[in-house]
Amino acid sequence: MNSTNQHPFALPFPIQDNSLLIGGMTISQLANRVGQTPFYAYDRRLVSERVALLRSSLPKDIHLHFAVKSNPMPALVQHLAGLVDGFDVASTGELKTVLDTTMPPDKISFAGPGKTERELCQAAAAGIVVNVESEREIDLLAKIGFDMGIKPKVAVRINPDFELKSSGMKMGGGPKQFGIDAEIVPDLLVRMGALELDFYGFHIFSGSQNLRADSIIEAQEKTFDLARRMAAYAPGPIRLLNLGGGFGIPYFPGEHTLDLSRVAERLACLVFDARKEFPGAEFVVELGRYIVGEAGVYVCRVIDRKVSRGHVFLVADGGLHHHLSASGNFGQVIRKNYPVLVGNRVIVEETESASVVGPLCTPLDLLADKMLLGHARIGDFIAVLQSGAYGYTASPRDFLSHPQPVEILV
Ligand SMILES: *Cc1c(COP(=O)(O)O)cnc(C)c1O
């Protein structure tokens, strides 16, 4: 019996000697190579395969961007630089990482509310596209451009007048700190015509972590619609239309993989139609977790095994402080288990119900709650799958001052 059996999706890693094989190495080989647990391991081959799947499924003229905030590890970003068409960054820290790659600046965009004058200066000087999220950013960029004697590249991030249904995280529609409300964009576009800005187009992102092809399709239809309505006021031709993304991956029992071919099929029709109205425009989808989420695993080691009033606790050397999302404290309303298994006992005859907890002095430090796992002993490895996105950098690693995890790309 495979102990991820409560999660109805296939293991992304092969098995050898009853261990997960990550980048061709068993977990115990990897742990020896790293020299410690806990660690995050990202499998280069799985990342490349995922990009290849997207390339072969999505229409040929869709440009694929990587949302760096999902995993900004420099080695991984370098690897992706040769595979994707562009990067979307959300800070100047991420900007530094992507400027260290070979990605051309005009294929890099910078989104996020609250960009400071200094950040806008850096972006303008780098020659990347700034997705402006307020009138203030537009005016500041125009001033910066004037001072530098350049025309900063801008795209307007629009807060759409629709919401992405059944998305894990809504990032557009209704009142939001992201983007500029669609209602006021036409006037703003007209005003931008008088400013010394290099207008690229629009960025419309409605939400994240969606597993339903139908709602992604609906959002994309509405996105093209909105872009059409706004384009009438644009100060120049639309050269860039960032359609967002939102492609989700399954994390929890009962979730299934996204039907990518359905999304792709419909997107092909939308792009075909939109070509006529937006000749020469780059259509972009920006994906984070869909590209890297399934390629990563978080590995920690069982330090203690305790039975408390009949319940088994596997106490590990890692937990919430390294992997906040798996602990259920990063955006989950009702806590559910990530796919967790004993990484060196993948196929097991018998399972037991056990909870995997970390070393922190809080009951929130829980990596698996009453899960059916192989019988783990002290020294065994706990593997948390689906950990390639929003793991290492999305966790409060200083909380309680335990040792830091290591990240490797294999
Ligand atoms: C976070 C974010 C993404 C990536 O979301 P994923 O769910 O990781 O694909 C894409 N675009 C923008 C604007 C974002 O803020």
CA 74 to chain CA centroid, Å, is 15
Q: Where are the domains of the chain?
A: 15-43+294-409, 104-287
Nearest ligand 1 atom to alpha carbon 247: 9
Mean pLDDT of 308-332: 97
Mean pLDDT of 175-180: 94
> Which residue's CA is the closest to the ligand 1 atom numbered 2?
67
CA of 68 to the centre of ligand 1 (A): 8
| pLDDT of amino acid 40 | 98
Name which residue leads in pLDDT, 1 or 213: 213
For residue range 157-166, what is the model confidence (pLDDT) as tens digits? Answer: 999 988 766 6
Ligand 1 mutation target, pool 51, 54, 69, most atoms within 8 A of CB: 69
| pLDDT of amino acid 9 | 77
> Which residue's CA is the closest to the ligand 1 atom numbered 4?
288
CATH architecture of 15-43+294-409: Beta Barrel (2.40)
pTM score, whole prediction: 0.96
Output the average pLDDT for the chain. 95
pLDDT above 90 (res 171): no
Mean pLDDT of 379-399: 98
For residue range 227-284, what is the model confidence (pLDDT) as tens digits? Answer: 999 999 999 999 999 999 999 999 999 999 999 999 999 999 999 999 999 999 999 9
Respond yes or no on whether the N-terminal peptide bond of residue 38 is cis (omega within 30° of 0): yes
CATH fold group of domain 104-287: TIM Barrel (3.20.20)
pLDDT above 90 (res 328): yes
C-beta 69 within 6 A of ligand 1: yes
| pLDDT of amino acid 118 | 98
Ligand 1 mutation target, pool 129, 205, 223, 251, most atoms within 8 A of CB: 205
